[in-house]
Amino acid sequence: MCNCDAKAKDNRFELLEQTLEKYRGSRGKLIPALQETQAIFGYLPAEALGMVGKVLKLPASEVYGVATFYGQFHLQPRGKNIVKVCTGTACHVRGGGKVLDEVLACLGLENGELTTADLQFTLDPVACIGACGMAPVMMVNNDVYGRLEPQDVSAILARYKNSEQEEGDQGCVA
């Protein structure tokens, strides 16, 4: 039986090892090392953080401290599509809360989950997208959708759904 997941994982750790070699002992290069690590995995797995600390000769507390301080770093897997829903004042007064509720329902996210189990979507509530005149607003990856009604949400999200995964999912697009 093919243990393809484990194999793919091994390949990524091998690639990380090669990538980090240029940072060996460079304690001041933690941020670029973390950025390259995240580019390989899509997030920062604990095992990878351990390798970064070892190669750069930094204590785990410092590696974790930086990884958790900056918003650009993620310690949990992220979805292929990032859905930013604005929760700022202009959007809130124009029904942004209902749009957010609809996104949560469509993606089948419950109990504070932000990423769908199939890793297709990550919800990222944000304070302001900078398009307040179009409130309520959401973004999917780099695409901006404004003057939203909750009933618009499922059709928008469906455009980003991986067509290979149409069966056995939950929520209105997931």
Find the shortest distance in angstroms from Cβ 100 to ligand FES: 11
Residue with smaller CB distance to ligand FES, 45 or 96: 96
33 binds ligand FES (CB under 6 A): no
For residues 135 to 154, the per-residue mask of contacts with ligand FES, x marking binding by CB under 6 A and - elsewhere, is x-x-----------------
Q: Across the chain, how many H-helices and E-strands are there?
A: 7, 4
Name which position in 85, 99, 100, 131 contacts ligand FES (CB under 6 A): 131
Q: List phi, psi (to 5°) of 95.
A: 95, 20
DSSP-derived secondary structure for 43-62: S--HHHHHHHHHHHT--HHH
Name which position in 129, 140, 153, 157 contacts ligand FES (CB under 6 A): 129
Evaluate whether 140 touches 82 at the Cβ level (below 8 Å). Answer: yes
**Piece of the chain touching ligand FES by CB under 6 A; list 15-23, 38-46, 85-93, 148-156:** 85-93
**Number of Cβ within a 10 Å radius of residue 128:** 14
Structure tokens at 114: 């932000």
Residue with smaller CB distance to ligand FES, 141 or 162: 141
Evaluate whether 45 touches 12 at the Cβ level (below 8 Å). Answer: no
Name which position in 66, 82, 90, 172 contacts ligand FES (CB under 6 A): 90
Find the shortest distance in angstroms from Cβ 15 to ligand FES: 38
CA distance 169 to 72: 29
Binding-site ranges for ligand FES (CB under 6 A): 86, 88-91, 128-132, 135, 137
